[in-house]
Structure 1
């Protein structure tokens, strides 16, 4: 019995070692930083435009109000910068999305067989647990017939099996089947 437990520990250690996301490429990291920077620049310019618009409508005794011509010219310049920043942001996002899709594909291909193996192993261990709960359930039924009180491990096995089966049917089976399609 101890050998079976060690086997399960070995299996978990194997999957802990092998199921790691591969590092994204340097290009992916650069594109992510460029997309973050482009988005930040666009947000900063938009906030600056909104601040100018707000300041133009508010009288502030400590700060002189911009003349209409200066305000209009500043807003026009900001609008031009925002148009350029929007284009940079969209281009950076498109580049990042393309690299992200390639990375997802790479991750899927790289980990597919190990994920499949993990699903098979999870199902195997669940089947083993359900089999052991069947043994405990049968022993508990026998004990009830002759009115012998058993520990909770045996007397609660039937309920535990039902709960596990419910979880397996509603969640784990779906997880494993989706893992195979991905």
Structure 2
């Protein structure tokens, strides 16, 4: 099975990141958290420090692996400014590999032109920073290889969608029931 790489940057929304990572791991997805900051310690937007599994420079993403970008205004600024990550996102998109982003992070994808002609969502105040085919207020949207989510309130649903896509609908339902999701 392919891996899911979550890219961490100072200023990220901690719960958006960790909820998706947690749900993905519960669903049997091998997840690695990757710091783009040049150090493993990443401090989020609410002063919670997370220890990443590895540094960007130590990471080898293979074809078929999934990339995930958490939101958070300052975190997204850091993600946007990282040239190596931009190149990786473009290469992965060209191969048709799955890429997910939540809250403000779809702006990274939109800014690279990856959402052209696609339906996407984001935090509503970032709508103008997410050039895409159709922007929607849906909580989680999958269009082709791209999955976007509106914000923190949908982080668990984004994780469940990635389990559905990468493992199976049945496993996503099993995780949903185990965590007492309100839709069960």
Q: Fold-level match, TM-score > 0.5?
A: no
The structure where helix makes up a greater share of residues is 1
Larger Rg belongs to? 1
TM-score, length basis structure 1: 0.19
Higher relative contact order (CA 8 A, sep 6+): 1
